[in-house]
């Protein structure tokens, strides 16, 4: 009886899991978005040299000023990916804004307060914030690396169902 039940249950579960239920951008996990961005980078991307040496952390009230340059940003979840050993002037953060936030105003607030010199005796060459709908990436590092991350980020978030 158990075998018959399992044989009936497996196809049902497969049908349910393949039903096209895409994740909504507001429900996505920022750490997963960061991982997907790294996976989306071209094989010859300069940013790939950073990936093996990175650690991803949650952005919270205690760390938001360090990662975003300012506290009080209206986000519901965020993650940051930075070098395990400092000083490496590289930072890639993803935040998902609260549903009722003014997304562009929050993006501008972060961009105006980014601290390109948050590392001891080192400063990022490039620093900016790119936004797609309710999700933003704070990108700091060498110019070419930032460009590669921006393109991969926009590709990943635009493919997630809104």
Domain ranges of the chain: 22-159
Q: Supply the pTM of this predicted model.
A: 0.82
pLDDT for position 17 = 41
pLDDT for position 96 = 96
With H, G, I as helix, E, B as strand and everything else as coil, classify residue 81: strand
The arithmetic mean of pLDDT across residues 113-120, rounded, is 90
The answer on pLDDT for 21 being more than 80 is no
The answer on pLDDT for 1 being more than 60 is no
71 CB contacts (<8 Å, ≥6 apart)?
61, 64, 65
Comparing 11-25, 35-49, 104-118, which segment has the lowest mean pLDDT?
A: 11-25
With a pLDDT cut of 90, the percent of the chain lying above it is 66
The answer on pLDDT for 62 being more than 80 is yes
With a pLDDT cut of 70, the percent of the chain lying above it is 82
**Is the CB of residue 25 less than 8 Å from the CB of residue 96?**
yes
Q: For residue 146, which of 90, 95, 102 has the smallest C-alpha distance?
A: 90
- CA dist 60 and 75 (Å) reads 10
């Amino acid at each position: 009886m158990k075998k018959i039940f399992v044989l009936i249950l497996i196809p049902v579960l497969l049908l349910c899991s393949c039903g096209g239920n895409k994740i909504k951008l507001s429900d996505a996990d920022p750490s997963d978005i960061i991982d997907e961005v790294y996976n989306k980078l071209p094989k010859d991307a300069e940013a790939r040299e950073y990936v093996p040496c990175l650690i991803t952390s949650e952005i919270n009230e205690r760390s938001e000023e360090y990662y975003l340059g300012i506290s009080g940003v209206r986000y519901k979840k965020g993650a940051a990916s930075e070098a395990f050993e400092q000083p490496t002037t590289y930072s890639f953060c993803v935040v998902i804004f609260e549903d009722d936030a003014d997304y562009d105003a929050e993006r501008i607030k972060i961009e105006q307060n980014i601290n390109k010199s948050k590392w001891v005796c080192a400063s990022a060459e490039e620093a900016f914030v790119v936004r797609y709908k309710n999700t933003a990436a704070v990108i700091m590092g060498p110019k070419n690396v930032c460009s590669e991350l921006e393109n991969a980020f926009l590709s990943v978030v635009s493919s997630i169902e809104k």
